[in-house]
Structure 1
Amino acid sequence: MSMQPNGRPLIPWNRGRVIGQKLPLKLRDIFGIRVRLQLQRRVRDLALFNLAIDSKLRGCDLVALRVCDLAREGGLGTRAQIIQRKTGKTVQFELTEQTRRAIMDWINRRSLTREDYLFPSRQRPETHLSTRQYARILKRWVASAGLEPSDYGTHSMRRTKPTLIYRRTHNLRAIQLLLGHTKLESTVRYLGIEVEDALALSEETEV
C-alpha cells in the first residue's frame, strides 16, 4: 500500500465511489418508477420524471425551464426547443401525451404562469429547483425501483431515451441531433458504444 509522507496510508480519492458513466434506465425501471409516482400522487415528480426522459436535457437546462418554454396557445405543444447552456446551440425535443398531461396537472396544481419556472424551488419560489436537489430526487426514484442509487445520476435521465432509440434503430446521427452534440464521436462515447456493437452492426449488413 502506498504511504503519505507522514507515514499514513494513501487512500485513493475514488475509494468506494462509482466512477464513469451513470447507467440509463431500462423500460421496466421507467414503468416501475412512473407507476409508483402515479399511485403516490407525486404530481411534481411525475412531471419532472416524464419531462426528463422526453427532453433528454442536461440537468442544468431541465431545471431552468420556464412554462413559456413549453406552452403554446391553448396548452402545451408537442415539441419544444431551447438553447443549451453548455454549448449555446439549439436543441429540440418532443413532448409525449402522457408528459404533456403530467406537466399540465403540475401547472394547474401550482397555478403557474407563463413566466414562472416550471419547477420552482420550494425554499425560494422565485428561483428554480437546483440541480443538486434534482439529483437527490432522482436517487429517491431509483431507490424506490429497487436499484442502486450510486449507479444512477441526472445524466441517466438524459441517456435513457437515446439509448433505447439507438438499440432499436442503430441511428447514431438521429441520436446526435436529439442530444445536440456537435461531433458524432461525442455521441458514440456518450452512449458507451463498444466494439461488439460495431461488429454486430457490420454482421447484419450484407454487401
Structure 2
Amino acid sequence: MRLDLQHRGLIRDRALFDTAIDSKLRGCALVRLRIGDVSAGGVSRSRAMVVQSKTGRPVQFEISETTRESAARWLRIRGGAASDFLFPRRIDSGRPLSTRQYARLVGDWGGAIGLNVEDYGTHSMRRTKASLIYRQTGNLRAVQILLGHTKIESTARYLGIDVEDALHIAEQTDI
C-alpha cells in the first residue's frame, strides 16, 4: 500500500497510512490528531502521546523516520498551526476527516492493490504493527501497553493468540 500511495503521488493519504500504522490508534483517535501531536515548531517528533477517544486514557507511540518524512511532506503542502487537525476535511478544514471517510480511503487503498476490501479495514491498520511486534518478540505485555489495553486478555483476544501460538513460543525457548 505504501508503495502504491507513493507511486500515485497521494501525499496526504501516504502520511495518513504511515501515521495509522505507527500510532496503532483506533480510527476515531487517528483522525483527531493535531499537527502539534506530531510536529513542534516545524520539527517532526519521534514520539507522541495522545488521549484515546474511546477509553480516555493516554497512549504513547513512536513516529518512525518513514512516517516523519511523509508527515513533513504533507505538512509542507497542508500548512497550519499546531492546534489544527493533522488530517482535516477537504471542505471544512476546521473539522477532522470523518472516520467514515478514513474507512473509505483504507478501502480504496486496499482495492487499488487487489486486496479484498471486506477483509481489510481501519482496524487492520491498528492491528498491523501490533501483530508484527508480537510475532517478533512474543511480548504480549509490550503490545498491551502500545495498544492502551487495560487487560492482557483483551490484547490476546485482539491479536487472535491461541494455544498454538503459546506452544510455538515455548518450543523456541531452550533452557
Task: State the TM-score bracket (shorter-chain normalisation).
Answer: over 0.9
Name stretches of at least 5 consecutive residues in structure 2 with no aligned partner.
none
Query: Deviations 1:24-70 (Å, cap 9, x if unpaired)?
Result: xxxxxxxxx11111111101000000000000000000000110112
TM-score normalised over the length of structure 2: 0.96
1-side partners of 2:7 and 2:121: how far apart? 24
Aligned residue number for residue 44 of structure 1: 12
Query: What is the CA-CA distance between 1:74 and the residue it aligns to?
Result: 4.4
2-side partners of 1:203 and 1:95: how far apart? 33
How does 1:128-147 map onto structure 2 within 5 Å? 128-147=96-115
1-side partners of 2:40 and 2:94: how far apart? 23
SS, match of residue 93 in structure 2: coil
Aligned residue number for residue 198 of structure 1: 166
How does 1:10-49 map onto structure 2 within 5 Å? 33-49=1-17
SS, match of residue 151 in structure 1: coil
2-side partners of 1:136 and 1:170: how far apart? 33
Aligned residue number for residue 163 of structure 1: 131
1-side partners of 2:159 and 2:106: how far apart? 20
Aligned residue number for residue 30 of structure 2: 62
Query: Deviations 1:122-167 (Å, cap 9, x if unpaired)?
Result: 1222101000000000001111121100001111000000101111
1-side partners of 2:151 and 2:119: how far apart? 26
2:54 corresponds to which of 86, 106, 126: 86
Distance 1:45 1:74, change over 3 A: closer
Q: Is the contact between residue 24 and residue 125 of structure 2 (CA under 8 Å) also seen in structure 1?
A: yes
SS, match of residue 189 in structure 1: helix
Identity, % of aligned pairs? 55
Query: What is the CA-CA distance between 1:206 and the residue it aligns to?
Result: 4.0
How does 1:83-122 map onto structure 2 within 5 Å? 83-122=51-90
Query: What is the CA-CA distance between 1:72 and the residue it aligns to?
Result: 2.1
TM-score normalised over the length of structure 1: 0.82
Q: Which has the larger radius of gyration?
A: 1
Aligned residue number for residue 13 of structure 1: none
Establish whether residue 152 from structure 1 lines up as the match of residue 104 from structure 2. no
1-side partners of 2:83 and 2:51: how far apart? 17
2-side partners of 1:39 and 1:149: how far apart? 20
SS, match of residue 149 in structure 1: coil
Q: Which runs of 4+ in 1 moved over 4 A?
A: none
2-side partners of 1:85 and 1:109: how far apart? 27
Distance 1:164 1:179, change over 3 A: same
Establish whether residue 126 from structure 1 lines up as the match of residue 117 from structure 2. no
2-side partners of 1:66 and 1:85: how far apart? 13
What is the aligned length?
A: 175
Establish whether residue 181 from structure 1 lines up as the match of residue 168 from structure 2. no
